[in-house]
Amino acid sequence: MTVMTGDGTQRHTVTEAASVLGISTEATRQRVKRGTLPTERDEDGNVFVLLTPEGTRRDGDGTRGDADGTNDGTDASLVASLLEQVEYLKETVAKRDEEIRRRDHLLAAALERIPALEAPPETREGHVAASEEPYRIPAPPRPETSISSEQQEPSSRRSWWRQLLDV
Residue 91 maps to a domain: yes
Residues 44 and 78 in one domain: no
- What local confidence, expressed as pLDDT, does residue 99 receive? 96
- What local confidence, expressed as pLDDT, does residue 143 receive? 64
Domain of residue 37 covers 3-51
pLDDT tens digit string along 75-126?
788 888 999 999 999 999 999 999 999 999 999 998 888 877 766 666 555 5
pLDDT higher than 70, residue 71 = no
pLDDT tens digit string along 118-159?
666 665 555 555 555 556 666 667 766 555 555 555 556 777
Between the alpha carbon of residue 108 and those of residues 36, 96, 99, 114, 115, the distances in Å are: 62, 18, 14, 10, 13
Number of domains in the chain: 2
- 3-class secondary-structure state, position 142: coil
- What local confidence, expressed as pLDDT, does residue 75 receive? 78
Residue 21 maps to a domain: yes
Question: Minimum mean pLDDT among 9-18, 30-39, 69-78: which range?
Answer: 69-78
Residue 137 maps to a domain: no
Residue 7 maps to a domain: yes
CB 28 within 8 A of CB 14: yes
- What local confidence, expressed as pLDDT, does residue 6 receive? 62
Global pTM?
0.32
- What local confidence, expressed as pLDDT, does residue 77 receive? 84
Residue 163 maps to a domain: no
CA distance 21 to 14: 10
Residue 162 maps to a domain: no
37 backbone dihedrals φ, ψ, rounded to 5°: -115, 135
Residue 104 maps to a domain: yes
CA distance 121 to 13: 92
Residue 29 maps to a domain: yes
